[in-house]
């Protein structure tokens, strides 16, 4: 049986029968690329929507947040690496059908819940579950949120875009070279942001990692580009804390974050400092 190419993201994994892609969530089964993390939940909890982070979307609300396993990037500073780097054989999951998750969200309305946020790992590599659940959520008159790195192709985004009310997109750097080191592609993420912003509420997170993306010049370029898409798009400049393969690094200097904040404020109407 011949190999099959997965067309979800720029890795374009060429998979033989039974082989799983770099994301650990898509597999060649009987000559078809299948999402093997469909409905397999590793993390679930009712969060303040500001934790996504979303600051200009139903502020003060709660949202049922769910995650699975797998990711198509490989960030050495990942905060959720225990599930983002996991495979189906190395993590405990709970199976939920889209309608079951939607009903669970609906039953939490009395706790201030407005819908479901797909988050924690990379939800877009398992876009089928996001799409199917989001459809059920919309039937109940509730909201859908996706927290993503945005490193998937446009046709994947189009599958979910009609049903998503808000995105937080992690723009990890404004350097093509750095993106390659992280296993991603800057242009793909930029295209994702542009397309998402045309139809949904979008906020962007930029985690400032010492020595990776912490220059004033890069923030000038990044904030200028976001402004060209929409000056009113909120930018969350977030402080790095040691994690995963970067435990020997110091947290981002707070004074530096303030400088980057001031640079971004020259271009954007809404800038927030996170983890400070």
pLDDT digits (tens, 9 = 90+) for 140-181: 999 999 999 999 999 999 999 999 999 999 999 999 999 999
Q: Is residue 100 part of a domain?
A: yes
Would you place residue 276 in the very low, low, confident or very high pLDDT band (cuts 50, 70, 90)? confident
Please indicate, yes or no, if residue 266 is contained in any of the structural domains. yes
The pLDDT of residue 248 is 83
Q: CB of 34 within 8 A of CB of 17?
A: no
241 in a domain, yes or no?
A: yes
Residue 29 domain flag: no
Average pLDDT over residues 195-222: 97
1 lies in some domain: no
pLDDT value for 246: 87
| CATH number of the domain enclosing 230 | 3.20.20.70
Is residue 260 assigned to a domain?
yes
Q: Which residues make Cβ contacts (< 8 Å) with residue 205, sequence separation at least 6?
A: 53, 168, 169, 170, 171, 235, 236, 238, 274
Bin 150: left if φ > 0, else alpha if -120 < ψ < 50, else beta.
left
**Residue 6 belongs to some domain of the structure:** no
Which residues, other chains included, contact 103 with Cβ-Cβ below 8 Å and sequence gap of 6+? none
- Evaluate whether 179 touches 212 at the Cβ level (below 8 Å): no
Average pLDDT over residues 17-44: 97
Strands 113-118, 43-48: pairing is unpaired
Domain assignment of residue 46, given as a range: 38-274
Tens digit of pLDDT for each residue in 5-26? 999 999 999 999 999 999 999 9
pLDDT for 1 equals 65
Number of domains in the chain: 1
Contacts of 106 (CB under 8 A, 6+ apart): 140, 142
Taking each helix axis from N to C end, the angle separating 127-139 and 98-106, rounded to the nearest 10 degrees, works out to: 40
Q: What is the mean pLDDT of the chain?
A: 96
Kind of pairing, strands 26-29 and 271-274?
A: unpaired
Task: Give percent above pLDDT 70 in the chain.
Answer: 100
128: closest CA among 63, 42, 202, 38?
A: 38
């Amino acid at each position: 049986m011949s190999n099959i190419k997965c067309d979800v993201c720029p890795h374009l994994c060429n998979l033989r029968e039974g082989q799983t892609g770099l994301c650990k969530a898509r597999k060649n089964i009987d000559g078809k690329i299948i999402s093997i993390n469909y409905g397999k939940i590793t993390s679930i909890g009712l969060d303040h929507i500001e934790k996504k982070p979303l600051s200009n979307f139903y502020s003060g609300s709660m949202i049922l947040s769910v995650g699975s396993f797998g990711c198509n990037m490989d960030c050495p500073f990942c905060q959720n690496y225990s599930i983002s780097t996991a495979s189906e054989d190395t993590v405990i999951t709970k199976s939920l059908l889209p309608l079951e998750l939607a009903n669970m969200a609906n039953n939490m309305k009395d706790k201030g819940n407005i819908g479901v946020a797909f988050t924690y790992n990379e939800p877009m590599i398992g876009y089928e579950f996001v799409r199917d659940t989001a459809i059920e959520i919309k039937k109940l008159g509730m909201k859908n949120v996706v927290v993503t790195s945005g490193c998937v192709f446009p046709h994947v985004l189009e599958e979910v875009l009609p049903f998503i009310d808000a995105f937080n997109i992690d723009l990890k750097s404004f350097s093509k070279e750095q993106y390659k080191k992280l296993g991603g592609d800057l242009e793909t993420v930029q295209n994702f942001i542009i397309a998402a912003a045309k139809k949904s509420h979008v906020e962007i997170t930029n985690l400032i990692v010492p020595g990776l993306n912490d220059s004033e010049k890069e923030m000038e370029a990044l904030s200028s580009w976001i402004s060209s898409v929409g000056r009113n798009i909120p930018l969350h400049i977030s402080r790095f804390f040691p994690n995963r393969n970067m435990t020997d690094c110091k947290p981002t200097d707070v004074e530096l974050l303030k400088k980057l904040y001031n640079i971004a404020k020259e271009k954007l109407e809404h800038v927030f400092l996170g983890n400070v």
